[in-house]
Amino acid sequence: MAVLKAEALGISFGGLKAVDDFHIEIEKRELYGLIGPNGAGKTTIFNLLTGVYRPESGRILLDGENIAGKSCVEINQRGIARTFQNIRLFHQLSVLDNVKAGFYHHFPYSLLDAVLHTPRYFRQEKEMDKRAEELLSVFELSEVSDCRAGNLPYGKQRKLEIARALATGPKLLLLDEPAAGMNPNETEELMGTIRLVRDRFDMTILLIEHDMKLVSGICDRLTVLNFGQVLKQGETAEVLHDPEVVKAYLGE
């Protein structure tokens, strides 16, 4: 069974069909790319998959369960986490606390526990600290765990955002243009980080990206979106050399 299967997804805004009959199937541990020109509907797809938008048609199956129409929180709890093109960290909080924020629905102590600092509160906080530090170690962020997240270099902020997403315990990780704003060295390091996430956490990953070097370097398969519709799907090398895909990108 595929980890993610979307069937005939559709949504309109103001009478304009933003996504029409979108379909995709992603297997466990696959590194899958969603590409297309600006305005093709890629981020809208992510918003449909994560509950930001409710699809007007179609189904979204996560491990066989239809999650279409569920809330963002419900979908995250069922196993989909995401990052954003514009990094969304808690910039005033420490690096450690940013990761801990991802654990809170796994450690549900009460408001009373927090106010009174009960033994349960301290036990769960200690366990969250331990698990957050383990994640930071994987991403080579241990040395900056006490730093404010907003003070980190751009590349480390990207790593932190991925680490926080992983703290929610997803089955499927969605990365929205993770290389946006990065220089070539940072992009190369990011490729290694994404492979590490897939291998270390047995993770299935779907990413949106415009950097074709990154896409061709790490993606197993691709879906190309154009004007809200699937233009091409298949193995990465085959898709990137397809004349219709080249035409869509070059506008010829």
Query: Mean pLDDT: which of 100-104, 109-113, 131-135 is highest?
Result: 131-135
**pLDDT score of 107 more than 80:** no
**pLDDT score of 250 more than 70:** no
Report pLDDT digits (tens) over 63-106.
Answer: 999 999 999 999 999 999 999 888 889 899 999 999 988 877 66
SS3 string, the chain, reads: CCCEEEEEEEEEECCEEEEEEEEEEECCCCEEEEECCCCCCHHHHHHHHCCCCCCCEEEEEECCEECCCCCHHHHHHHCEEECCCCCCCCCCCEHHHHHHHCCHHHCCCCHHHHHHCCHHHHHHHHHHHHHHHHHHHHCCCHHHCCCEHHHCCHHHHHHHHHHHHHHCCCCEEEEECCCCCCCHHHHHHHHHHHHHHHHHCCCEEEEECCCHHHHHHHCCEEEEEECCEEEEEEEHHHHHCCHHHHHHHHCC
pLDDT, residue 130, reads 86
Q: Which residue has the tokens 């009373």?
A: 112
pLDDT, residue 103, reads 79
**pLDDT score of 129 more than 90:** no
Task: Please state, rounded to an integer, the average pLDDT across all residues of the chain.
Answer: 90
Q: Which domains does the chain have, with CATH numbers?
A: 1-79+171-252 (3.40.50.300), 89-169 (no CATH)
**pLDDT score of 110 more than 60:** no
β-strand pairing of 172-176 with 57-62: unpaired
